[in-house]
Amino acid sequence: MKRFLLFPALILTFLTGCSDDNEDDPFENGIEIPATYVFQRDGESTVSFSGQTTRILMAEEIIDKMMDPSSTAQMLKDMYAHQEGNPDFSDPALNASANNVRSKTAASFDYFSSNATNQALIRADFESWIDIQVNEVFPNWNSAAAPGVAGQIADGTATRYVDGRGLEMDQLFNKSLIGALMVDQILNNYVSANFIDAGTQRDDNDNKVPEAGRNYTAMEHDWDEAYGYAFGTAQDLADPRPTIGLDDSFLNKYIGRTEGDPDFAGITEAIFEAFKVGRAAIVAGDYEVRDAQAEILRKLISEIVGIRAVYYLEQAKLALQQPTPDFGGAFHDLSEGYGFIYSLQFTRRPNSNVPYFNKAEVDGFLADLLDDGPNGLWDVTPATLDALSAAIAGRFEFTIAQAGS
């Protein structure tokens, strides 16, 4: 069943289904929707998301360096919390940037502006994964992993490097950052009316008052920044669809992976269309249409996180159930799955102010994944993986069979 093939039509239905006079239909309202993500004023582009591209590129270098046993914990933490001008990266442009990854981790207006406690705990998790990689995994880089002992383990022709519980720290950092940075900033910050309507931004947008020294309004820029966390490294920034999944290791990659599953074909088009229509609605000053697109993005991007969490749990179960259990393959899948489960706390139920799973629920899932025995993933059972998959899929509109294949 291809659930998303007709999603552009479903988006329009969502917009107009509750209105007899089509007051929310972007086409009926005269909103000009371009074929690609191109918006101009006075012949110049008004689209800008360079900060998002920079942070994605910084995150790419961090996860690369987490697999270099010559890296120190301080080096990696300095990359994560980069300060302008410090030589933390191989790219001079990144070194010159005032942006960094840490300051935008768990930093959305809706979820963390009044929750400094959880923000600090989440940022500490990322730093703890760096410490474990450097202090436990690197010293055993050339030794065989065993229950309770960090080291390397074969996964087909690949080699994985795990801690004593079987977890790959680079995968935890990578996949958890998809939620804590990309998903959180998109869904709970840059498309949130609480954030983009703050202060005088709606009036400024109505009156086309640009940000100082720029040719775009603050609201236009906010929406573009959301777009940048999904598509900011695409080969064609105006049309990321042809190379979706190939442009970075974060949300872009897993939009592409989800698109590649026949059960979810069309999800890329649906996400791209929602971004494009929402931006066009901002130009037109139609905030009902804008907010409808935000809800579509919340549903679809949250669903990607849930789908990939279940996928990796189910793939790991298959690896463990082989006549000779494939621990290397299972540990790699479960390390990725761990990150996507972690990312569930940053999702957003449409038409609500809450995630699909809160932090306490996510922490419980992660504890369950590791407590079947004293050695974490070495002891995890298929029954535990089935229970986790069922609990996650039960909150969404997909089945375990759809997500797990």
pLDDT at 330 over 60: yes
pLDDT at 236 over 60: yes
- List, for residues 308-328, the tens digit of each pLDDT value: 999 999 999 999 999 999 999
Give me the helices (H) in 33-115, please: 50-65, 73-80, 92-96, 109-112
Q: Identify the bridge partners of residue 146 per DSSP, sorted by sequence position.
A: 149
* % residues pLDDT > 70 (the chain): 93
Q: For residues 223-246, give the mean pLDDT.
A: 98
pLDDT at 30: 80
pLDDT at 344: 99
Q: Which of 57, 65, 47, 59 is nearest to 92 (CA)?
A: 57
Q: For residues 335-342, give the mean pLDDT.
A: 98
Supply the pTM of this predicted model. 0.94
Contact 170, 339 (CB under 8 A): no
Q: Is 353 exposed, middle or buried (0-12, 13-18, 19+ CB in 10 A)?
A: exposed
Max CA pair span of the chain = 69
Helix 218-231 vs helix 267-284: angle between axes, to the nearest 10 degrees?
A: 170
- Residue 131 to residue 369: CA distance in whole angstroms: 21
* % residues pLDDT > 90 (the chain): 93
- List, for residues 32-51, the tens digit of each pLDDT value: 999 999 999 999 999 999 99
- List, for residues 251-298, the tens digit of each pLDDT value: 999 999 999 999 999 999 999 999 999 999 999 999 999 999 999 999
pLDDT at 7 over 90: no
- Residue 328 to residue 220: CA distance in whole angstroms: 46
- List, for residues 80-106, the tens digit of each pLDDT value: 999 999 999 999 999 999 999 999 999
pLDDT at 27: 58
The mean pLDDT value of the chain amounts to 94
